[in-house]
Amino acid sequence: MHTMEDLERKLDNLVKEPENFSLFNQVGVLLYKVKDWKNAELYFQRDYELNPADENTIYNYALLLHQQGQFHKASKLYQAYLEIDPLDKEVREKAGDCYYLLGEYEQAVRMYEKLQKE
Amino acid sequence: MVKKKLLSLCLITENDAKYLSNCLENMQEYVDEIIIVDRASRDLTSEIAQKFGANVYQKGWENDYSKAKNFCLNQAQGRWALFLQANEIISTQQLKELRQLLENPNVEGYLLYIDNFSQNYRITSPVQSLRLIRNRKEFQYKYKAFERIPDELLSNIKDSGIRIVQQPDLESSGDFDQLSLLLEKDLKKNPEDSYLQYMYGIELLNQQRFEESIKYLEKARQNVNFDYLFAPHLYKCLSWALISLERHENALDVLDEGIKNFPLYTDFLVLRGELKKQLKEYGEAIGDLEKGLKLRGKSNTMVPEPEINITVILETLGDIHEEVFNYHRALIYYQQAYELNKGNPQILYKIGNVVKKVNNTEILANLLQQSIEESNLQQLIVIMDILFQQREYHKVLAHLDNLESLLGKGEQTESIKASCYMMLGELKKAELSFSSILKESPFYNHMLLQRMEGYWIHGKWQKVRQVLKEMDEALSIENNIKALYHFLHQLLTEEEPQYRDLKDQEYEIVSTLMESFLWLGKVDKARLLIPLLQRGNEDKYINLGVLWAEQNDYQIIERIFGQISTKEKQLEFKQKVLEQFLGKEQIETAQKVISLGDKQPLGPLEYVVWSQGFIKKLKESLEEINQTMAPQTPAKPSKSLVAFYQFFALDKNAMNESSLELTTLELTCSKIHSEIGDFYRKAKKNQEAFSAFLRALQWQPLDNLAQEKIKEMFQENPNQFSKFLEEKNWFLEGSWFQHKQEFIDYILGVIDFRNQQFEKALASFHKIGKDETSYPLALAYIISSLWLTGKESEAERWLKEQSGPFEIVSKFFSICKGYALDRLNVGHQQFPYSELIRVEKERMG
């Protein structure tokens, strides 16, 4: 109930500030919480378009896509994230898993290799 | 300064002259003083005591053991006091150890074991084992009889490991009555005292007055403090009384509570295991006993120590495994039990019995050799007897010299020789040996009857008549036995006698005779004896059934079964007979036995009979089709896939303990993805795990394990994985599937097939078109579904219609075999202890 109220308030704010990428991200997170994956994806996508260099934005969007079976797109985003933060082990592992799901074993090996070295 | 004495030996005596010298002679060197409180003996007790330098105090008997013992303690000057009875001694070696125990500053008292070789076994409390105590003023005994220092005063009591050997005192039986009377008086005074309630309960238990015993033990249980020395023993006595009255549920409650409160007191586990065995809950029984065994193997800090020793646990485990046809395990446990208790010939007989079942003659040969080398006559006699019973007459004859060298040559060995020759048909040699046995000999009558049996089985009817006459003249042979032999002769000479009931001894004679006929292959003669044996005790029918199962004679089995009146015995009969048929691969007869009488759960056997019958029928179907099965070479993985797999295999945290890393040679695409799936599943990455198992099936579509994993995951989360499949975001590998939809149809068909929803499975497989590369797989599943739903002729028609593609036959066989393996796996989960199911799985796998 609390989440829904929060969501409505943030959507109202978004009408007033349509370029506020942070609001898009927050709405995406709330939609993710209520398992509205399709709309969460739209808001994360918009957030990413407005703010493509933000770690949180990329992480949330990639995670959702990975979970939704969009492994190709998710892997690209994990790569983008790792360019910003190459030492993030969790994302490196997720990227490796994503490449496995895509059948790109060489890329998966590369991810896990680095993970092991770290 | 005078050095304080270390150990005072304390005795309360009364007319103990008979034993006292022995006791004091044994003890005097190891104690620093001897204190004797004598209850006005009328014999030489006092003089003997003084001869050994004891301080003897004459004290009028006040019907109070505590008073006497406390008086003794007050006189004792040693730092430790050891209480013995005049009829008790301790071995010299152990006395040396006892002195060392006194050096331990942290212990206040030691328990000593009491070995009593009296024939009248009595339950005694561990409180009576507290014989060695620190001589403290505050340690004062309470109660008139079964005196005890209150637990509240005692701390740090240890087990000494020392054994007191108690001579059975034939004159002391009146003492127990006196003790009981004193105990009753104490209990009247202190009716809520848990110790007195418990002791009174034990006394009633010793008199086998179970109901009354339970009343007192139950009260004690409610009042007892768990820290009391006797508390675990109280629980044990109560459970024992309940078991004796077959109040199994109540006994289990007490045992459960005992296990919870005294986890190191393994007797509870053993008793519960024994009870579960009686209730035929074998898995739980094995679990309890194995746990008990493990705990006993560790250094046990429990005081008092459990009383049931490891040998008993091992033997009981052997018994259970033998009962459930786990002969290899049974043999291991019996051997271990025998190693620890070579004085028990019963275990050796059990070894002999199991050795025969597993056809391992080496063990007996080794034991025989060991007996000869160690000149162990008792073991040699038992092994020779086992060999004789197993009709290994040549082996018995070959080792008779060894027996003679230990036993001496005489009538006993001659009678063995005569029996062996008689059974082997070497009648002249048998007669020669028999002639050396005199008529007055204790072996004569037995041998006379043996001769008769020998002549019967070898068809020497003239000779039988002669021996019958000799038998009639022998006055010491009982008339009923003579009548039986005459009757048997009539029966075997094909006259039609009036059948009669048999007493136990007579039954044994007839049964052995029948076995001898069967052993010689004279089945017709053996069959003549059956009506006679069917008039015996029903308990004997199982052995009779097993003997005829060896002959694969279903008609007789059916006849015997028809005469068993209780469901329980019918079940036992069926199980024992079935096992025999399975061992001889007589699967059709086994199936007929299953259908005898009412349908009954037959445990592991049911799975094995089903599996063997299923595979036999399957093979017969394929023989008719006359197609051979083509072996397939699994695809080898790429270097990068192997490298990826190795990250998981090297990660010890991610690795399942039971999973073994695959060697490079074993690596196939399917196996790698399957293993990766396991790693991902353990890491709770379900999407990745599901994909990995799917990929394993893309390379090896009939992989039973990967199929099972897919089925399990799909069952756990049907919506998530249906959606995952339908969205088709995964990709295809391998050459079996060209289109995602055909793969989806295949997977859904496999899941339904494994759930035994064959109609639904058929619908999915039928969606895969003839032009698809996976069509042979779908077709094999369609045929298998038909076959498994009883439409065998339709299935066979489909198979025959396939021109050339042998792979369909091979796939059909593999799918059906997988189905049988799954069913065996269900059996394995239900009966994880079953050797029969494990062996069957291995045979099939």
pLDDT in tens, A91-104: 999 999 999 999 99
A9 lies in some domain: yes
**What is the 3-class SS of B595-615, one letter each residue?**
CCCCCCCCCHHHHHHHHHHHH
Domain co-membership, A1 together with A40: yes
Distance, in Å, from the CA atom of B612 to the CA atom of B807, rounded to the nearest integer, reads: 24
**Measured between CB atoms, which of A71, A109, A113 is closest to B729?**
A71
Max CA pair span of chain B: 112
Distance, in Å, from the CA atom of B269 to the CA atom of B266, rounded to the nearest integer, reads: 5
Mutation target for B interface from A106, A107, A113, A114: give the one with most B CBs within 10 A. A106
DSSP state, B770? T
Q: Reduce the DSSP state of residue B799 to 3 states and report it.
A: helix
Domain co-membership, A41 together with A82: no
- Quote the CATH superfamily of domain B7-174: Spore Coat Polysaccharide Biosynthesis Protein SpsA; Chain A (3.90.550.10)
Q: At what angle do helices B444-457 and B461-473 cross, to 10 degrees?
A: 160
Q: Percent of chain B at pLDDT above 90?
A: 73
The residue among A4 and B714 whose pLDDT is bigger is B714
Distance, in Å, from the CA atom of B265 to the CA atom of B271, rounded to the nearest integer, reads: 11
* pLDDT mean over B209-213: 96
Cβ partners under 8 Å of residue A37, min gap 6 = A31, A64, A67, A68
In one letter, which amino acid is B79? Answer: R
Q: Which of B11, B129, B138, B151 is CA-nearest to residue B69?
A: B11
Domain co-membership, A42 together with A81: no
Query: What is the Rg, in whole angstroms, of the alpha carbon atoms belonging to chain B?
Result: 36
- The residue segments making up the domain with residue A30 are 1-51
Beta bridge partners of B626: none
DSSP state, B520? T
Q: Reduce the DSSP state of residue B374 to 3 states and report it.
A: coil
A66 lies in some domain: no
What pLDDT is attached to residue A109?
Answer: 94
Least confident range of A12-21, B129-138, B569-578, B612-621: A12-21
Mutation target for A interface from B640, B641, B644: give the one with most A CBs within 10 A. B644
Q: How confident is the model at residue B651 (pLDDT cuts 50, 70, 90)?
A: low
Q: Percent of chain B at pLDDT above 70?
A: 95
Domain co-membership, A6 together with A46: yes
Q: What's the whole-number average pLDDT of chain B?
A: 90
A56 lies in some domain: no
CB contact under 8 A, A103 and B731: yes
What pLDDT is attached to residue B440?
Answer: 84
A6 lies in some domain: yes
A63 lies in some domain: no
Q: Which residue has the tokens 């009491």?
A: B114
**Looking at the predicted structure, is the pLDDT value of residue B443 above 70?**
yes
Among all residues of chain B, which has the CA nearest to that of A115? Answer: B647
Domain co-membership, A41 together with A77: no
Distance, in Å, from the CA atom of A86 to the CA atom of A43, rounded to the nearest integer, reads: 26
Distance, in Å, from the CA atom of B557 to the CA atom of B354, rounded to the nearest integer, reads: 23
Q: Which of B332, B204, B313, B336 is CA-nearest to residue B266?
A: B313
Q: Reduce the DSSP state of residue B62 to 3 states and report it.
A: coil
Q: ipTM above 0.95?
A: no
**Measured between CB atoms, which of A69, A109, A116 is closest to B727?**
A69
Number of Cβ within a 10 Å radius of residue A1 = 5
Question: What's the gap between Cα B719 and its chain centre?
Answer: 48
Length of chain A in residues, anyone? 118
Q: How many domains does chain A have?
A: 2
pLDDT in tens, B223-255: 999 999 999 999 999 999 999 999 999 999 999
What are the sequence ranges of the domains in chain B?
Answer: 7-174, 639-844
**Measured between CB atoms, which of A67, A102, A105 is closest to B638?**
A105
pLDDT in tens, B149-179: 999 998 899 999 899 999 876 555 557 778 8
User: CA separation (Å) from B252 to B213, B270, B278, B603, B720?
Assistant: 17, 12, 12, 23, 45
Domain co-membership, A1 together with A47: yes
Q: Reduce the DSSP state of residue B12 to 3 states and report it.
A: strand
CA distance B264 to chain A (A): 45
Domain co-membership, A42 together with A86: no
CB contact under 8 A, A69 and B731: no
Domain co-membership, A9 together with A42: yes
What pLDDT is attached to residue B657?
Answer: 45
CB contact under 8 A, A109 and B644: yes
Residues of A with CB under 8 A from a CB of B: 67, 69-71, 97, 100-103, 105-106, 108-109, 112-113, 116
Q: Which residue has the tokens 């007493």?
A: B503
